[in-house]
């Protein structure tokens, strides 16, 4: 059964912002990561936090780029870094 084109157009216009524009990013500065294993550990730690969609840690850059679906409080990120055994060094502006 064919669906009239008008009904498809109506559904497509329901969203005012594209999905990727609703996402936020934060760069968390981390001291103590020394290898890819450390990166994997921090990735798993960050992605367990509600609101963190993805995490891309880098031991070479000493940071992790987080894709967020909500504004995760800095204190929550700080606690996660400390619980994983690393040193929280702030949020990159």
For residue 37, what pLDDT is reported?
98
Q: Which residue, chain included where needed, has tokens 């609703």? A: 22
The model's confidence at residue 10, banded by pLDDT at 50, 70 and 90, is very low
- Kindly tell me if the per-residue pLDDT of 8 is higher than 70: no
Task: Kindly report, residue by residue over 19-39, the tens digit of the pLDDT.
Answer: 555 789 999 999 999 999 999
Mean predicted lDDT score pLDDT of the chain: 86
**pTM, to two decimals:** 0.76
- Kindly tell me if the per-residue pLDDT of 81 is higher than 60: yes
* Domains (range + CATH), the chain: 22-91 (3.30.70.100)
First to last CA, the chain: 53
Residue 51 vs residues 2, 24, 27, 32, 74: alpha-carbon distances, Å:
39, 10, 14, 24, 12
């Amino acid at each position: 059964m064919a669906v009239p084109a008008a009904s498809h157009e109506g559904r497509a216009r329901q969203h005012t912002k594209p999905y990727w524009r609703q996402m936020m990013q934060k760069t968390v500065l981390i001291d103590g990561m020394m290898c890819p294993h450390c990166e994997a550990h921090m990735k798993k730690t960050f992605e367990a936090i509600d609101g963190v969609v993805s995490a891309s840690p880098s031991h070479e850059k000493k940071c992790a780029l987080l894709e967020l679906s909500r504004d995760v409080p800095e204190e929550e990120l700080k606690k996660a870094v400390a619980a994983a055994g690393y040193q929280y060094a702030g949020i990159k502006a």
